[in-house]
Amino acid sequence: MELQDRLIILFDYYGELLTDSQKNYFIDYYFHNLTLSEIAENNGVSKNAVSKDLKLATSKLEDFDSKLKLIDKDKKITKLIKETGNEELIEKINNILDL
């Protein structure tokens, strides 16, 4: 899996744990494909500030996943759900997980 794809998945799981500026810079950089200079200009900060926040955000996302392992747990649960074939159970679990 490409690093950018992994970071986007991590953001989907843990993005709400980042600061507002980290979330905004991450979204602008990885989802809107803006350059560091464009993000800095749009937010009235230095390019260095954006770079530092992005590095910190990606580091935090990796750290959250190394501790919580939600992605691996989700994959295991999804596999078990598919293997059961019990539609009622699948529906109940999906409702709990908001899938």
- CATH 1.10.10.10 residue ranges of the chain are 1-68
Q: What is the pLDDT of residue 1?
A: 64
- Local confidence band at 98 (pLDDT 50, 70, 90 cut-offs): confident
Q: CA-CA-CA-CA torsion for 88, 93, 96, 97, nearest 10 degrees?
A: -140
Residue located via tokens 């078990």: 80
Length of the chain: 99
Topology (CATH) of 1-68: Arc Repressor Mutant, subunit A (1.10.10)
For residues 15 and 90, the model is more confident at 15
| Nearest-angstrom CA–CA distance, 89 and 25 | 40
Find the helix or strand (DSSP H, E) in which 68 lies. Answer: helix 47-68
How much is the average pLDDT of 33-47?
Answer: 98
How much is the pTM? 0.81
